[in-house]
Structure 1
């Protein structure tokens, strides 16, 4: 290659690097076949080479959702921001076979554990580049000397750090193999070794959140059922149709225990009658051409038919016939739950962000935190309570109830998710039993007559 050509290649490389660092932007788009695509663009709107190849090869070919792909691209964007500050040209290094060292991976891993704002502040200053000791200090005073304490507001949750390092490791490993497919490398393993344990570094709030099990107790259930009513005096919505839609949506989640994405994918044609009984069909429909939403709600579970009680069927019928039908243009939208505000004279299905906003506004009148998925947890607690009674009466078995739970929730037979939900209920029941035992212990303690209390 002549010097002029080499200079042109280097110029393009510099432009590519600048764009990938400063102007990267992830975006969701809809393909002609309805598939949602997550892509990473530079400032001129063109897709970036390596990150998008990686997402296609590793994530899309593994049938990952567009949301997962977009999140991975956001982590890759942060990865490039880190290595720019550390003066690491990852493409050039991989092209030349000079892979990342363990020291470099440890430096990158450090920044995976703090916020982007904190990382930018540290990376602006070259002097702030961290130094990682390759050995573990043994003396207590040595530990005190080298320990780095971050401000609480600068750190991220262990889940975020774990996910970042997972994407970093997979991307670097793919990039190295892309250029040197037959050369062994350990970058992915090194990144994975830096990931925190699943319970490492939990904050008090995270521990408390885990112990709360994210479901409604009996008192909260009563408040919930009272205050979601469309005729509740302090309802946050003035429009009667919107109030009833939100009531129907909340009751669908509460009674059936389905996911919010599953409820937003329900079409009118999914409400069916078979042999005089009413059913709701929950169907997987990725890439639905009828769905205009860029962020299409996903049905992450198996397709299934769920029986509808007369009460829930009546609620849905009332919404459809007395409220939904009066929204101009609603007849052209196949989805059950719709936005009651038209956009360019077009009625759109209710979005995920719209549904989440509904529950935030519900929470304001409830007096406690409420979000869609907690109703799925609540359904499982109620199911476990009912199953315990039936098992005690000899009307069913534990194996049968867990198999039924898997079907109703859309999990594969024998899924570990069934064990997760049932074990949460069992743990909660165990805690209540332990507290009851403690109360009995203290009652016994108070009832003991000591020598100095007994009249002589």
Structure 2
């Protein structure tokens, strides 16, 4: 069995790319590489989308190994997937990748008794969205492969037959219901917990989990930026010193994909629209202190423009803060107390939106339409995007609850 791996590639000009390779030889697979380069990456899609596409192709190749077929050889003879092949493939994509590997032997599953009835162990399935994405990519790839194998050959693959196979695979994709058991608004943080986190991470706090004073200042600045601006993790790690305009009191969010100045293997990306966010005096002082007092003390930090840097002694000291370092920071914060377990960067974004709704409602200075436009700009969304509604569900539900109670009280008085 040939093991496959996803290799991360960074070109001299800064462009990041990924390829599906033979894990033993390191040689890229020809047709998957051609597909990713011409169909996915050429469309301007992000590296994370390329990663998801390659993961889907890994599942496909694991399936073909288990099935005992060779897709390239099959298509070159003018034969496409049969209905039983497609249903088998669909079932295979429903399992996690570590389970979606060729199985050499079958084993007896032991039944367990529960309340006098025999039950089998539960089977782990991936989320419906994951399977939907996998099947979409696989259908696209198989259509591409069939067309490529047909080019210059008289193998008898008709356009209608290829299109029918692709449509049939897409038809088996799971239905993505808009109704979920847990609303996204529930991912927001309790405001009391947010205040406690900021207090614990305050430089000099006796229970601050970070011993180094410089690290304390950097980590507190990170939490303050997440709390007061509601920016994403990628936006935070992508910030440069030049993005802070002290004269205009603004902080800029700028898209810089494949920047040659970014030495990080996995470059943090900005997913939202560019924008200029006003910052108050307290935020300006916190940023100025970190830049002038702490960041400037590292020689390596003078060689790149990124705001947040690594403080740990070693060869990477002063380099741009990586995604993995940010993850370790969040893991440490989550371990401070039991109620901090839900702390993560995106939860601050949900909390910001809830707070923004409460404060603007209380101020009464904006109409709902003006509030929606302001929120969309500050979050980097399109004015016509429905994302604002999703992030504002928590506040909407609270207003609905108050309205329902007031309605009931009015009926009772009548």
The TM-score normalised by the length of structure 1 is 0.79
8 Å contact from structure 1 (residues 278, 308) kept in 2:
yes
- Identify the residue that residue 386 of structure 1 maps to in structure 2: 359
How big is the shift at 1:302?
A: 1.3
Distance 1:416 1:439 in 2: 31
Partner in structure 2 of residue 220 of structure 1: 193
**What do residues 210-239 of structure 1 show as CA deviations (whole Å, max 9, x unaligned)?**
366211122222322322312222222111
Which residue matches 2:45? Answer: 64
Q: Is the 8 A contact 2:272 2:379 kept in 1?
A: yes
Note the C-alpha offset of 1:428: 4.9
> In the comparison of the two structures, how many residue pairs are matched?
390
Deviation per CA, 1:112-165: give whole Å up to 9, x if none.
Answer: 1123444447x324799xxxxxxxxxxxxxxxxxxxx97435322222222222
- C-alpha deviation, 1:279, in angstroms: 1.1
Q: What is the CA distance between 1:254 and its match in structure 2?
A: 1.0
Q: After superposition, where does 1:235-314 map in structure 2 within 5 Å?
A: 235-274=208-247, 277-314=248-285
Determine which of 175, 181, 186 is the counterpart of 1:207. Answer: 181
| Distance in 2 between residues matched to 1:179 and 1:95, nearest whole Å | 5
Equivalent position to 1:77, from 54, 58, 63: 58
> CA–CA distance in 2 between the matches of 1:372 and 1:336?
17
- Is there any run of 5+ residues in structure 1 with no aligned partner, and where? 1-20, 129-148, 445-456
Partners of 2:189 and 2:136 lie apart in 1 by: 33
- Cα deviation, residue 439, structure 1: 11
- Rg larger in structure: 1
- Map 1:42-61 onto structure 2 (within 5 A): 42=22, 43-61=24-42
- The alignment partner of 1:155 has SS state of coil
| Alignment correspondent of 1:335 | 306
What is the CA deviation profile of residues 168-205 of structure 1, one whole-angstrom value per residue up to 9, with x for unaligned ones? 212112112222376222222222222222239x9xxx
8 Å contact 2:19–2:33 — kept in the other structure?
yes
- Return the offset for 1:432: 6.8
Partner of 1:132: none
Contact 1:356 1:372 in 2 (8 A): no
Measure, in 2, the Cα distance between the counterparts of 1:45 and 1:299.
31
Match of 2:21 in 1: 41
Whether the aligned pair in 1 keeps the contact of 2:241 and 2:307 (CA below 8 Å) is yes
Structure 1 430/124 Cα, relative in aligned 2: closer, same or farther at 3 Å? Answer: farther
Among 159, 163, 171, the alignment partner of 1:183 is: 159
Query: Residue 413 of structure 1: which of 366, 374, 383 is its match?
Result: 383
Cα distance in 2 for residues equivalent to 1:357 and 1:433: 43
2:344 and 2:398 mapped to 1: Cα distance?
A: 20
The Cα shift of 1:381 comes to 0.8
Question: Residues 151 and 62 of structure 1: is their aligned pair in 2 closer, same or farther, counting only changes over 3 Å?
Answer: farther
Q: In structure 2, what is the Cα distance between the partners aligned to 1:433 and 1:157? A: 36
Whether the 8 Å contact between 1:342 and 1:348 is mirrored in structure 2 is: no
State the Cα distance separating 1:437 from its structure 2 match. Answer: 8.1
Q: Which runs of 5+ in 2 are unaligned?
A: 109-118, 152-157
Are the equivalent residues in 2 in contact too, given 1:38–1:67 (CA < 8 A)? no
1:412, distance to aligned residue in structure 2 (A) = 2.1
Contact persistence 2:185–2:394 (CA under 8 A): no
**Structure having the larger proportion of residues in helix:** 1
Distance (Å, rounded) in 1 between the aligned partners of 2:55 and 2:120: 23
CA RMSD of aligned residues (A): 2.7
CA distance in 1, matches of 2:378, 2:123: 41
In the alignment, does 2:331 pair up with 1:353?
no
**Structure 1 residues 432, 243: closer, same or farther in 2, change over 3 A?**
farther
Residues 258/212 of structure 1: CA separation in 2 closer, same or farther (3 Å cut): closer
2: CA distance, partners of 1:265 / 1:156: 31
Q: TM-score scaled to structure 2, two decimals?
A: 0.86
Asked if structure 1 preserves the Cα contact closer than 8 Å seen for 2:184 and 2:390, the reply is: no
Q: Is the 1:337–1:349 Cα contact (8 Å) retained in structure 2?
A: yes
1:231 to 189, 194, 204: 204
Q: Distance in 2 between matches of 1:64 and 1:152?
A: 36
Superposed CA deviations along residues 396-443 of structure 1, whole A, max 9, x for unmatched, are 211111111111111123222222222453135435766x68998xxx
